[in-house]
Amino acid sequence: MESEGLFLLPFLALTLWRFVFTGMEWGWPVGGIDALRPRQNDLLWQRLPVDRSGLAVVADQRAQNYLRRIVALTGATHKGNCWFLDVDKTQFCVRSGHVTRLRDVTDPRRACEETCFYPAYKDMPKAEQIATALLQLKNNPALFDRWAVERSLAFKADGQVFTRTQ
């Protein structure tokens, strides 16, 4: 019986040695070049905005902050991809490049109308485009009709036509 135990001892020692050293290999905290190489699965590394698409990401984050402020100022609410804005009995749904007018929120037979809108700077961050439309509609809801009907013209916030020659 004792001789059988002695026979198994080297086998057990070898198994223990492999287990311990294999574990150490995964557990060592520093390791030359690997330690210096950026790790693509590192969450912190992925979250650095300048590492991915540079300043555009920073501009987008700032634009989102402005949109949040303007949503609060205008009393708009955000649901899905739509920002709902109430002006008197009219409700607007502002999305990227589109506005839908729900003529009377208290009337179940209300008519829906939709139009596109384009800001002066076409490359403006989407959040700022939406913020611009929210501010303008809150102050002057009649702008919707002008955007819908006089499609080739640009309108200032007060409803006046803007031409480059001004």
Partner 1 sequence: MTARILTFSSHGDTTLFEYDPATADMDEVNRMIAEYEAKTGAQPFDMATGDRISKVTKEQHEVLMVHPIAGG
Residue 21 corresponds to which amino acid? F
- Whether 90 and 105 have beta carbons less than 8 Å apart is answered as yes
Report the alpha-carbon distance of residue 80 to residue 88 in Å, rounded. 23
DSSP class of 66: H
Which of 60, 59, 91 shows the shortest CA–CA distance to 74? 91
Q: How far is the CB of 37 from partner 1 (least distance, A)?
A: 33
Q: Please, which residue, 34 or 88, has the CB nearer to partner 1?
A: 88
Q: How far is the CB of 72 from partner 1 (least distance, A)?
A: 9
Q: How far is the CB of 62 from partner 1 (least distance, A)?
A: 5
Say how many CA atoms lie within 13 Å of 14 toward its Cβ.
5
Residue 62 corresponds to which amino acid? R
Residue 28 corresponds to which amino acid? W
Q: Please, which residue, 106 or 152, has the CB nearer to partner 1?
A: 152
Q: Please, which residue, 48 or 153, has the CB nearer to partner 1?
A: 153
Residue for token pair 């009219």: 90
Contact positions vs partner 1 (CB under 8 A): 55, 58-60, 62-63, 66, 69-70, 73-74, 115-125, 128, 131-133, 135-136, 138-140, 143, 146-158, 162, 166
Q: How far is the CB of 101 from partner 1 (least distance, A)?
A: 12
Q: How far is the CB of 28 from partner 1 (least distance, A)?
A: 44
Q: Please, which residue, 74 or 84, has the CB nearer to partner 1?
A: 74
Q: Give the sign of the dihedral formed by CA 32, CA 35, CA 37, CA 39.
A: positive
Q: Please, which residue, 34 or 158, has the CB nearer to partner 1?
A: 158
